[in-house]
Amino acid sequence: MKIINRLFRLIRINFILARYNIDEIVLGTHWFYPLRFIVYFNPYYWTVGKKMSRGERIRRALEDLGPIFVKAGQIISTRRDLLPDDVAVELSKLQDRVPPFSGKIAQSIIEESLNSPIENTFAAFDTQALASASIAQVHAATLLSGESVVVKVLRPNIRTIINRDIDLLMTLAKIAERYWMHARHFKPKQIISEVAQTLYDELDLMREGANASQLRRNFADSKMLYVPLIYWQYCRANILVMERIHGIPVHDIERLKRAGFNMQLLAKRGIEIFFTQIFRDSFFHADLHPGNIFVSEKNPEDPTYIVVDFGIVGSLNNEDQRYIAENMIAFFKRDYQRVAELHIACGWLPPDTRIDQFEGAIRAVSEPIFEQPLRDVSFGQLLLRLFQVARRFHINIQPQLVLLQKTLLSIEGLSRSLAPDLDLWGTAGPQIEKWLKKQVGVKAFLRRVRDNLPLWSQQLPQMPSLVFEVLQETKIRQEKLRFAETVNVSHVKQRERLLKINYFISGALISAVIAGAIAYFVM
């Protein structure tokens, strides 16, 4: 049955590929080029293919293939280090909007998960969905205690649907890697694995709730960002109950201006929030598209952002933070040799890589960017170009850095839509340099000592026995070495005695031969 379902799904996929003339792209590869003439028999080749660009056709095909393919396309669009620019731009336009499923079904899912009638949990529950996406949909509700909340409910049978489509996508990826020469560069199996991991993470709403709680703690004392409260007692793996927020969508520029918001400060705070997440918290919201960002109406002169949808987050270790910080500073100083040296030092490039070659490649893609006014220079584009160059030198860019680059592009676009003349480097540069200064010097050393002191104090009682064991091991090794040396010395002396005996016998024999020869000639 599984094979039959897969076959029907493949037939539908092939029909949609033909409809948007994607077969022209496939048959245009070197492997299928002898069959290129087939596209002329596709009636859509003469209509759709002439009206849309390659990227637009791919985007429209994914939209027709269904919500999971749309979600996959959104995730793939973040891999701009692997995709052609025109395709990446079009995929980033994919909108994860699908028709809602029945509110009665959502209600029954909630009742089954909470093992209680809906009226025992909510004073009111709106069966009309507020929003609907490929993975889940959201309903407005009121708790018995009077708090206004939203309830996020996973779609029924969504895991089965995702398993089916991921299995199919992975099959197609394997075929591509086997028969398509360029697939080694695009790494389709790796991309589909990342898509699968992201989708499966989003299926666990408890995980999303934990992400929201972490972000809320990080900004608990901040006026820049507000994160809604999670009501854990009502949450399950397929249900998330969260405080309902009210604000102006950040993409509604005209409404923000009419409300009298300080647009320059609002744009600046967007950049500050992002870099605070990166360098202070090492934990960042990685799905900050405009649909997930609102602005509180309470104080237009001192604006506060509100974010929702915490299914995708990223985290950085200290090495990632340092990589980003030092590379950005070196880039803006146009110190390309330093950028190359940093890649060698952090182990991203093989030690035998020629720094001058890598430096030249970075300069070639960076100089055109810096020909623009500094206020127009994009951090995200810089990271993107760096990743593309790094890929040519066989560096595997880590997924968390790709998420960061994608989020940075979104934040830059948002900030420039709010305040077109905002100097991004002037806003972010001081934060990055401040963080780097904290990582070096006496204060940084003392801070690391302070942070590790509890662990050291816990390990301290074990130190005498550990030292004794090390000394014992050292003593045993020394005795073995002395024995080996003694054996070796005895062996050497024995060889020397044997050589002397051999030399004596050889000398005696030679002397006897010479004496015999003399005696023979004398006689």
Q: What angle do CA 98, 100, 103 make, to 5 degrees?
A: 170
Which DSSP state fits 375? Answer: G
Residues marked active site are found at 287
Both tokens of residue 316?
Answer: 């950085």
C-beta separation of 62 from 73 below 8 A:
yes
Write the DSSP assignment of 154-190 as a string of letters: EPTTHHHHHHHHHHHHHHHHHHHHHH-TTHHHH-HHH
Report how far residue 204's alpha carbon sits from residue 162's, in angstroms, rounded to the nearest whole number: 13
Instruction: State pLDDT tens for residues 408-431.
Output: 878 888 888 888 888 777 777 787
- Is the pLDDT confidence value at 141 over 80? yes
Report the pLDDT averaged over residues 479-493: 57
118-127, 415-424, 445-454: which has the minimum mean pLDDT?
Answer: 445-454
- Is the pLDDT confidence value at 190 over 90? no
C-beta separation of 382 from 364 below 8 A:
no
- Is the pLDDT confidence value at 272 over 70? yes
371 or 312: which leads in pLDDT: 312
Instruction: State pLDDT tens for residues 37-46.
Output: 455 555 555 5
415: nearest Cα among 424, 406, 428, 403: 424
Both tokens of residue 116?
Answer: 């209680």
Cα pseudo-dihedral 300, 304, 309, 310, rounded to 10: 170
Report the pLDDT averaged over residues 187-198: 77
Side-chain-side CA neighbours of residue 353 (13 Å) = 23
pLDDT at 20: 73
Q: Using 50, 70 and 90 to split pLDDT, how confident is the model at 132? A: confident
Both tokens of residue 380?
Answer: 């995200």
- Is the pLDDT confidence value at 286 over 50? yes
Over the chain, what is the mean pLDDT? 77
**Pairing assessment for the beta strands 148-154 and 239-243 based on DSSP bridges:** antiparallel
520 or 93: which leads in pLDDT: 93
Q: Which amino acid is at 493?
A: K
With H, G, I as helix, E, B as strand and everything else as coil, classify residue 226.
Answer: strand
With H, G, I as helix, E, B as strand and everything else as coil, classify residue 347.
Answer: coil
The single residue listed with the structure tokens 């994607």 is: 22
Instruction: State pLDDT tens for residues 287-325.
Output: 887 788 999 999 899 999 999 999 889 888 887 888 788
Q: Where are the beta strands (DSSP E) in 178-235?
A: 225-226
| Cα 397–chain centre separation | 8
pLDDT at 335: 87
Does the pTM surpass 0.75? The reply is no
Both tokens of residue 224?
Answer: 């820049």
